[in-house]
Amino acid sequence: MAKMDRLAVFIDHQNVYRGARDALGATDADHHTVGQYDPIKLANLIAERHPSYRGANLRKLVQVNIYSGLPGSSRNPKGYAASRKQFKRWESATSGSDPKVEVCTRPLDYRTGYPREKGIDVLLALDLAFGAADKDFDVVVLFSGDSDLLPALERVHAVGVMCEVAAWKGGGRQLPKKDYIKWEHRLYKRDYEQVHDSCNYL
């Protein structure tokens, strides 16, 4: 029987959302639901596409981690409530056969006058590195265009975990090619249509 690798998908939420909007040609006039996605459907779509590089085994999706800033409950109560509703739906929508879904958040920083994510990339990088060191997964797919996460992927590769990335075709920043990144899952508009979440959480 062929070896079955345990696959984890790590999603940088705002990066993936904005990248989807860019790939779809959305503007500020388009509804905020354009770019929304169902993380379980997205992760399963990636898991179903077996890459062809040497050493790639069959895989089973075992973990989906999503990283996002959280609006302040006093500064933006509507956005806070909508985000909590969305995150709760993500974590509770899994069935017995679905992988574990964990939403990891950090409060948005308003000190510059407009909301900014602070610490999300550090949290994601730490979870990547510690998860790999603890042998929680054999293969990881990182869906983010943030090059600050490359050292974490390099460390993950150093402990024997296969590293792959995902990106929307034509959507925002993409990670540069590195020797330790074995595969890029390129997703297109037709893929987005399969994972689109049309729910208005506001």
Residue-level pLDDT, tens digit, the chain, 202 residues: 567 899 999 999 999 999 999 999 999 999 999 999 999 999 999 999 889 888 889 999 999 999 999 999 999 999 999 999 999 999 887 666 778 899 999 999 999 888 999 999 999 999 999 999 999 999 999 999 999 999 999 999 999 999 999 999 988 788 988 999 999 999 999 999 999 999 999 9
Quick count: other Cβ atoms within 10 Å of Cβ 1? 4
Q: How far apart are CA 36 and CA 81, in angstroms?
A: 17
Q: Which domains does the chain have, with CATH numbers?
A: 4-195 (3.40.50.1010)
**Do 181 and 61 touch, CB atoms closer than 8 A?**
no
- Residue 50: its pLDDT value, please? 86
Quick count: other Cβ atoms within 10 Å of Cβ 174? 18
- Residue 98: its pLDDT value, please? 72
**Do 99 and 64 touch, CB atoms closer than 8 A?**
yes
- Residue 52: its pLDDT value, please? 85
